[in-house]
Amino acid sequence: MIPSTYPDDATMARMTARMLLDIRAVHFNTETLFTHASGKQAPTYLDCRKIISHPRVRSTTMDFLTCKVMRDAGLEAFDNIAGGETAGIPFAALVAERMGLPMSYVRKKPKGYGRAAQIEGDMPEGARVLLVEDLTTDGGSKLKFVDAIRTAGASCAHTAVVFYYGIFEDTLDRLAGHGLTLHWLTTWADVIAEARRGGDFDDATLADVERFLADPEGWRAARGLS
């Protein structure tokens, strides 16, 4: 069912941040650091996958994401919704269901057997595809998925995520340079603000996390981390 009403961007950002905090998808620890996929350590970790296990949060965030994309990109802007392997797959399915559109997914690399496909599902040549993922940091993984979609003969000018880091200055320009517009619900700044309002973490932890987010490499260097 296609949602027909939705709050403004600021309200969706705040509400999404609160939901992520409520389901304990947000992790801050300035002493015992988290190792990210890049191999770098950080005092922050966000587990958007937890959304799929919480029905009310799942439904609300997917309604928000669907409405935001339809408002900003257009109600008739897409023919296919694609999820990026693996975290984007359930979110793409939920958005596709709401928009009444076919769904497919994109592998990180072609599978090494059968058809050696990188695109799974039906994605007709010329289809206008919305790429859906759980989050984006600097946008690098999005470009690889988009290139695979375009190589398959479809077009992809938009990608939508629940969470956008919002700390790397060139991310949006980098995506735009690749012909891609990013749509998101909430950022680290929104989460920090909501965590401070709700008292989810102590002030010292939040202050140190803010220092990290303002200058990740400088924060690591000050602690002798690479």
Quote the pLDDT of residue 157.
Answer: 98
Quote the pLDDT of residue 116.
Answer: 53
Give the separation between CA 161 and CA 112, rounded to whole angstroms: 28
Contact, 143 vs 151, CB < 8 A? no
Q: Tell me how far CA of residue 153 lies from CA of 25, 47, 75, 123, 147, in angstroms.
A: 36, 33, 22, 9, 10
pTM: predicted TM-score of the whole model, two decimal places: 0.93
Q: Which residue from 26, 45, 24 is spatially nearest to 34, judged by alpha carbons?
A: 45
Q: What is the DSSP string of the chain?
A: --------HHHHHHHHHHHHHHTT-EEE-SSSPEEPTTS-EESEEE-GGGGGG-HHHHHHHHHHHHHHHHHHH-TTS-SEEEEETTTHHHHHHHHHHHHT--EEEE-SS--SSTT--SEES---TT-EEEEEEEEESSSHHHHHHHHHHHHTT-EEEEEEEEEE----TTHHHHHHHTT-EEEEEEEHHHHHHHHHHHT-S-HHHHHHHHHHHH-HHHHHHHTT--
Task: Name the residue with tokens 């790397």.
Answer: 168
Could you say which architecture CATH assigns to the domain 9-217? 3-Layer(aba) Sandwich (3.40)
Give the separation between CA 153 and CA 147, rounded to whole angstroms: 10
Structural domain spans, the chain = 9-217
Q: Given CA atoms 122, 95, 26, 138 in this order, what sign does their dihedral have? A: positive
Q: What is the pLDDT along the chain (226 residues), one digit of tens a residue?
A: 676 678 999 999 999 999 999 999 999 999 999 998 778 899 999 999 999 999 999 999 999 999 999 999 999 999 999 999 999 999 999 999 999 999 999 998 876 554 557 999 999 999 999 999 999 988 788 899 999 999 999 999 999 999 999 998 899 999 999 999 999 999 999 999 999 999 999 999 999 999 999 999 999 999 888 7
Contact, 163 vs 135, CB < 8 A? yes
In this structure, are strands 80-84 and 128-136 parallel, antiparallel, or unpaired? parallel
Print burial letters for 15-34: b (CB count within 10 Å at least 16), e (below 16): bbbbbbbebebbebebeebe
